[in-house]
Amino acid sequence: MPVRPIIRFPDALLRTPCTPVTAFDDELRALVTDLLDTMRAAPGVGITGPHIGVLKRVVVIELDRENGVRTYINPELIESSEETMQHMEGSVSMPGLTEEIVRPKSIRFRYQDIEGVVHEEVAEDFLAICIQHEIDQLDGIFWLQRLSKLKRDRLVKKWEKARHAA
């Protein structure tokens, strides 16, 4: 399947909430394959429909090849721990820039698989961070919005400078 162009910050699509997936068909399977290929080429560990301009609630995560690819359709947070952790985050839509973000250390979430079957799971540590990051994206919350104004402004300036230099 083709590697698709990635939408770059500050495109408004990155701040647009996504619609739920209702058809679990070959078109959805093709989208998931395209997302995986695009994420690996970026490279990244997570990607969503909006990153390639498809406003559907689809997430693909691959923390490493040994643990394999995880696909989450229509994911939603059910609960989050009070315990938090800090982690460096970034985005395939803003390559090369990262910043530390504090998020809940563990979550319980619900999603559907590629066949439409509903699952509920608990995720901790790095996987929990990745799932929260990608659900934010599906909700129209770009990761920069989780930063203080000072950190956000600094990163946006760096991004603009890098874009104009390219």
Residue 1: the pLDDT is: 59
Determine contact, residues 86/78, Cβ cutoff 8 Å: no
Residues with catalytic roles: 134
Looking at the predicted structure, is the pLDDT value of residue 97 above 80? yes
Task: Quote the tokens at residue 82.
Answer: 């009070």
Cα distance between residue 71 and residue 60, in whole Å: 5
Domain 12-165 annotated CATH 3.90.45.10: yes
pTM: 0.95
Q: If pLDDT is split at 50, 70 and 90, which confidence band does 66 have?
A: confident
Alpha-helical segments (H) within 70-124: none
Cα distance between residue 163 and residue 161, in whole Å: 6
Per-residue model confidence as pLDDT tens digits over 113-122: 999 999 999 9
Between residues 2 and 92, which one has the greater pLDDT? 92
- Quick check: helix, strand or coil at residue 31? helix
Using a 10 angstrom Cβ sphere, with 0-12 exposed, 13-18 middle and 19 or more buried, the burial of residue 81 is middle
Looking at the predicted structure, is the pLDDT value of residue 163 above 90? no
- Quick check: helix, strand or coil at residue 72? strand
Per-residue model confidence as pLDDT tens digits over 27-54: 999 999 999 999 999 999 999 999 999 9
Looking at the predicted structure, is the pLDDT value of residue 62 above 90? yes
